[in-house]
């Protein structure tokens, strides 16, 4: 069974550009989460989808971040325009149920904004 | 989310050593979790703790849920080279959200 896959694994962009990150959760997992880890800091919650609906987006930093999950399958996270402080590793995770300790994480996207 | 203080921030291990790391919080959690991230991979769940005072083992790993519900520790016994990586604690409160610590980076001592 395929795990959570994220694309790209690395992205280097200039300040002001747009970047779109993609996450394919494990098939059948209704719950999809985005997290971010800035270098050396904690892994921070960004948002939570249940199928195609945003259950909780309280962790989204600002309106430059837009997440979608059309059709309740894969999800995208777009940053537009990117700022220097957006650099970090963006993790996607999925789970079957809402009690999310049985989270399966992807390998992450390392985003560097120069 | 709530703030978790994880220590140490980093440690060097020698093969065969026992190592220990811990997490504390000013908030009470219902669940404590320990994850490990190998280089180039995402975090993987090692141990889940659901009850205050609970002591759980997974091979050479042992973790405890503190009596106050505000702390947890993870011990690795007889460490081996593949124990290197980043270890994260995480706590879950009533809102089901996970709060993570900043991680403990474990490196093999040359």
For A35-83, how does the pLDDT look when each residue is reduced to its tens digit (9 = 90+)? 999 988 999 999 999 999 999 999 999 999 999 998 889 999 999 999 9
CA distance B27 to B69: 8
What is the tens place of the pLDDT at every residue in A94-112? 998 876 568 899 999 999 9
Instruction: Look at B97 and A45 and tell me if their CB atoms are within 8 Å.
Output: yes
Please check whether residue A43 touches B, CB under 8 A. Answer: yes
Is the C-alpha dihedral spanning B87, B93, B97, B102 positive or negative? negative
Q: Which of A40, A100, A107 sits opposite B96 (nearest CB)?
A: A100
Helix (H) or strand (E) holding A15, with range, is: none
Which pLDDT score, from 0 to 100, does residue A52 have? 94
Return phi, psi of residue B82, to 5°: -75, 0
Largest CA distance in chain A: 38
Which pLDDT score, from 0 to 100, does residue B61 have? 97
Which pLDDT score, from 0 to 100, does residue A27 have? 93
What is the tens place of the pLDDT at every residue in B64-76? 999 999 999 999 9
Q: Which of A40, A45, A108 sits opposite B98 (nearest CB)?
A: A45
Cβ neighbour number for residue A7 with a 10 Å cutoff: 15
Cβ neighbour number for residue B85 with a 10 Å cutoff: 19
Alpha carbon A59 to its chain's center: 11
Which pLDDT score, from 0 to 100, does residue B96 have? 77
For the CA atoms of chain B, what is the radius of gyration?
Answer: 13
What is the tens place of the pLDDT at every residue in B8-55? 999 999 999 999 999 999 999 999 999 999 999 999 999 999 999 999
Which of residues 51 through 70 in chain A touch B, CB cutoff 8 A? Answer: 56, 59
Instruction: Look at B42 and A106 and tell me if their CB atoms are within 8 Å.
Output: yes
What is the tens place of the pLDDT at every residue in A8-25? 999 999 999 999 999 999
Please check whether residue A39 touches B, CB under 8 A. Answer: no
């Amino acid at each position: 069974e395929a795990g959570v896959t994220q694309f790209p694994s690395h992205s280097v962009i200039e300040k002001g550009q747009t970047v779109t990150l993609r996450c394919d959760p494990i098939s059948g997992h209704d719950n999809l989460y985005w997290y971010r880890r800035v270098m050396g800091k904690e892994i921070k919650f960004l948002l939570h989808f249940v199928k195609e609906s945003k259950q909780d987006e309280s962790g989204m930093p600002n309106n430059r971040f837009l997440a979608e999950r059309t059709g309740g399958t894969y999800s995208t996270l777009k940053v537009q325009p990117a700022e220097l402080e957006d650099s970090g590793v963006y993790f996607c995770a999925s789970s079957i149920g809402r009690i999310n300790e049985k989270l399966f994480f992807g390998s992450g996207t390392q985003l560097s904004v120069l | 989310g709530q703030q978790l203080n994880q220590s140490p921030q980093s440690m060097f291990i020698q093969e065969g050593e026992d190592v220990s790391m811990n997490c504390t919080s000013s908030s009470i959690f219902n669940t404590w979790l320990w994850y490990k991230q190998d280089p180039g991979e995402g975090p993987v769940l090692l141990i889940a703790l659901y009850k205050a005072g609970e002591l759980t083992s997974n091979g050479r790993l042992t973790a405890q849920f503190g009596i106050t519900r505000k702390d947890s520790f993870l011990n690795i016994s007889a460490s081996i080279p593949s124990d290197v990586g980043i270890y994260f604690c995480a706590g879950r409160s009533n809102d089901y959200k996970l709060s993570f610590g900043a991680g403990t980076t474990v490196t093999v001592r040359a």
